[in-house]
Structure 1
Amino acid sequence: MSSPWALGTLASEVTRSTRSILHADMDAFFASVEQRDDPSLRGKPVIVGGTGSRGVVAAASYEARKFGVHSAMPTWQARKLCPQGVYLHGNMPKYAAVSRQIRGVFEEFTDLIEPLALDEAFLDITHSAHLFEGPEALARRLKARVREETDLAVSVGLGPNKLLAKIACGLGKPDGLYQITEEEATALLAKMPIRKLWGIGPKAEERLLALGIETLGALRDAPVETVRKVFGRHAEAIQARAMGHDERPVETERAPKSIGEESTFPGPVAQRLKLVEAIVEHSETVASRARRAGYLGQTVTLKIKFEKKRSGKRTAAFEIFEGLTRQKRLDRPTDDAMTIRKAAESLLQSIELESPVRLLGVTLSALRRAETEAEKPQLSLFPVATEEPPGRPSLGAVMDQVHARFGANALRRAVDQLDKMTASDREKVGELLPEGDESTPKSPKVPRPGRR
């Protein structure tokens, strides 16, 4: 059956300037879900995220934002700003279920949906807006349907491209509907601070301000040579965005550029053995995700962040992190955990650990589709110990089947289970308990094999 949104103008007849793009963003999503499910929390400042001293805020209700609390803020800082707030550890499986409900509502209006996160998505409504008497009428109906299905508020922005739709959504928050037309874009953006432009982070903002560039209008009019000092070869593209130009399509299926896994240790780690254990855990996860997605990767990256103590107040003693990354290109693409692990371990050996480690991550990139079994890595003439014997199923594939049937902890490599598991890690394996709860289940230790 063909999609109902295939009616109307053919895609080949649609120019970029005639597009209608909608950006939908749930308001304070995690916190709003908690307030919805517990009426006693309504009207109170609710902060969801890591509840320990080293935790990070994942979401803050609008009541909490009045005190200056926002997402990505260290929890200790949030508690200082809002000591009367209600701090919750969160429930990712519940949020994911609500996100699926919201996605179902979006599909009532178009099948061209690009999810950005659990609570945010772009919708291309170019071909379906006329069925709802125009983009604005469609947006109002979408907001009403989300409220009907979830009892939650969604802010919506409309524009001729993704950039303007996202900016419009931000201008309409909370629970708003804002539209930026192509004719309005140049004058509206010219007065906005540079940080409003999607893609400009704190470091780029600092460098632009040092050059005297404070607004998007100033960025647009600056000599391209000046902008190159900050953005290099991307300078022209950034200036085009500052004028409201954005040619990117809504991508319903975006091919991943990389598959990675990282976690922050509860405390500083100085022992290499603990870091190797983390590499083993992350390599297994990355390989499993690559197999499920049907990808092989040829570049392994190890990411490490070191802890640097800050002098002064105790609460801020661990806020400075210095990071580095190392990469290794493999002889051939792989989705094998042992191969990824060996590459990451060799990268670790090349790093001098001058300070304790707070974060470690493993990433597989240079991805391509594993189209057929023939494209799977072949045995070499002189096989190494990590390769499977001919005719035997891949150990990784067998582990995937066991995990799918019996759970993520049913079968593990012969190494000690890490005690570095963070809240997000526990959520992934269904062990979510309040941070610091002594009743958190621990998997039994697995004996180490003897050294060879």
Structure 2
Amino acid sequence: MPEAMRTLLHADMDAFYASVEQRDRPELRGQPVVVGGASSRGVVAAASYEARAYGIHSAMPSVEARRRCPRAIFVRGDMAKYRRESRRIFEIFRRYSPRVEGLSLDEAFLDLSGTEKLLGPVEDAAKRLRADVRRELQLAVSVGVAPVKMVAKIASDLAKPDGLLVVDAERVREFLDPLPVGRIWGVGPVARQSLTQRGIDTIGQLALAPDFLLRELMGSWGPVAARLARGQDLREVEPYREAKSYGEENTFAEDVSKPARLAAACRAHAEAVARRLRRDRIRGRRVTLKLKLARRLGGGRYPLLSRSLTLPVATDDGRLIARAAAKLLARAELQEPVRLLGISLSRLEPSDAEQLALLPSEGEDPRRRRLNQVVDAVQDRFGRQALERGGVSVERAGLSLQIKRGER
């Protein structure tokens, strides 16, 4: 569909985690609320607008957030609650379009192209969507509307807090040109510095820059960034992107050296990955262990190790994944503390539930399969904490807004 005929909406909840906490706990309203880990390794997952007035923002170390606002109220957060609220939000989104691409628990693109006969003018539809979210969830959502994804995203950012901004097709260049070049997707601090050193400070200047110069400054991404600067973004809303892997990772609250704690984290992540795989009726064959060591390299960087192995058959059993991870952990021959540990499963394939019920895979214990089904049923009904195998859990330094397939 030509860009001029597309109508794309970007919806982004305002300070989602913090707003949910302020809604549910009246004593937090009007207070600088920070959701995330309060430990020395903790990271801010969300900050209320009262906390943002002190310069606190997501991904900031909690230590820095507390330094900026000593009276900030830290809340550990409740991921199960946030996921429930996210499902309610997306149910509202899907009333307006079947084409909803979730970017995170609190953010999505909606394709409203061709819906005017059903929904009326797009600005009116966007206003109703915002009103529905406010009425049903008592939460605020900011919305941007444009013919291309990037412009809709920028528009919703500029509409915050609790606003709506519509950019018509004929106004895209007028809207983009005066904005700072860092607003373009893929233009980070390093690229922005290179561009500004050559006199390219705004999106409009980037749009007019020659390709040879942009290749020199940004590599192959340079000409792509210039097309985005001209409002040329052909990406469609993708509601059904296929997963390449399933993974879990955590940054420890403190550096970990003890093998037993690392092994426990492996088991916890293996069970979490396996549970999500079973819910999606997916199995995987390649197990990857990711380790970030505690030794600082400077510039916020740390040594990163990765080890992988391929199983003889695909699995969705946490015990088999944990065994593979244990082998990889031993293979790493660690000599120093670990800051982060993650496990992922790739080389995915669908599992045929009926066939598996009749003919277990090679190496699969039918009793384990039945046990997994019972555990899944109990956790689905009563929550993940209702039943854990051997107390398998892992302490995390922070929360994530990431949408995880197979998680409820």
- For the aligned pair, the TM-score class normalised by the smaller chain equals 0.7 to 0.9
In structure 2, what is the equivalent of residue 22 of structure 1? 9
Residue 398 in structure 1 maps to residue 371 in structure 2: yes
Distance 1:37 1:343, change over 3 A: closer
1:38 aligned partner: 25
Q: Which of these residues, 141, 154, 157, is aligned with residue 170 of structure 1?
A: 157
Distance 1:299 1:310, change over 3 A: closer
Give me the whole-angstrom Cα distance separating, in 1, the residues matched to 2:121 and 2:250: 45
Which residue identity is paired with 2:254?
G
- Residue 155 of structure 1 deviates from its aligned partner by 0.9
Q: TM-score, normalised by structure 1?
A: 0.76
Mapped to 2, the partners of 1:268 and 1:242 lie a distance apart of: 43
1:369 aligns with 2:350: yes
Counterpart Cα distance in 2 of 1:77 and 1:122: 32
Q: Residue 325 of structure 1: SS of its match in structure 2?
A: strand
SS at the partner of 1:107? helix
- Going from structure 1 to structure 2, the CA distance change for 1:206 and 1:401 (only over 3 Å counts) comes to farther
What letter corresponds to residue 341 of structure 2 in structure 1?
L
Is 1:335 the equivalent of 2:311?
no
Partner residue of 1:196 out of 167, 172, 183 = 183
Residue type of the alignment partner of 1:243: R
TM-score, normalised to structure 2, is 0.83
The worse-fitting range, judged by mean Cα deviation, of 349-358 and 116-125 is 349-358
Cross-structure match for 2:172: 185
Aligned alpha-carbon RMSD (Å): 3.3
Quick check: 1:124 aligned with 2:111? Answer: yes
3-state DSSP of counterpart to 2:228: helix
Whole-Å separation in 1 of the counterparts to 2:213 and 2:360? 47
1:155 alignment partner in structure 2: 142
Question: What residue is the counterpart of 2:326 in the other structure?
Answer: 345
The percentage of aligned residue pairs carrying the same residue is 43
Task: Tell me, in whole angstroms, the C-alpha distance in 1 between the residues paired with 2:175 and 2:326.
Answer: 51
Determine whether 1:388 maps to 2:364.
Answer: yes
Higher CA-based Rg: 1
3-state SS of the aligned residue for 1:156? strand
Instruction: State the alpha-carbon separation in 1 of the partners of residues 182 and 45 from structure 2.
Output: 21
**Relative to structure 1, is the Cα distance of residues 205 and 272 closer, same or farther in structure 2, using a 3 angstrom cutoff?**
farther
Kindly indicate whether the alpha-carbon contact (under 8 Å) linking 1:403 and 1:410 is maintained by their aligned counterparts in 2.
no
Is 1:356 the counterpart of 2:304? The answer is no
Task: Out of 165-174 and 403-412, give the one that drifted further.
Answer: 403-412
Shift of 1:187: 3.9
**Do 1:297 and 1:368's aligned partners in 2 also have CA atoms closer than 8 Å?**
yes
Q: Which residue of 1 aligns with 2:258?
A: 271
Following superposition, the deviation at residue 154 of structure 1 comes to 1.4
**In the aligned structure 2, how far is the partner of 1:222 from the partner of 1:145?**
43
Show the 5 A alignment for 1:33-112. Answer: 33-112=20-99
Higher helix proportion, which one? 2
Residue of structure 2 equivalent to 1:142? 129
Residue 47 (structure 1) shift = 1.6
Matched residue type, 1:59:
A
Report if aligned partners of 1:399, 1:411 keep a CA contact under 8 Å in 2.
no
Name structure 1 gaps, 5 residues minimum. Answer: 1-13, 312-317, 380-386, 426-452
Query: In the TM superposition, what is the alpha-carbon distance from 1:228 to its structure 2 partner?
Result: 4.9
Q: Deviation per CA, 1:373-401: give whole Å up to 9, x if none.
A: 6699853xxxxxxx236xx35x2552242
CA contact (8 A) 1:112 1:252 kept: yes
The corresponding residue for 2:404 is none
Query: What are the Cα deviations for residues 124-154 of structure 1, in whole angstroms up to 9, with x where unaligned?
Result: 1113233343111111222222222222221
Aligned length: 395
Match of 1:108, SS state, is helix
Supply the distance in 1 between the matched residues of 2:282 and 2:84 (Cα, whole angstroms): 26
For CA contacts below 8 A with separation 6 or more, give which structure has more relative contact order. Answer: 2
**Distance change (3 Å), C-alpha of 1:50 and 1:193:** same
Q: Deviations over 1:388-441 (max 9, x none)?
A: 36xx35x25522422422664676667x7456466759xxxxxxxxxxxxxxxx
Aligned AA (2:239):
T
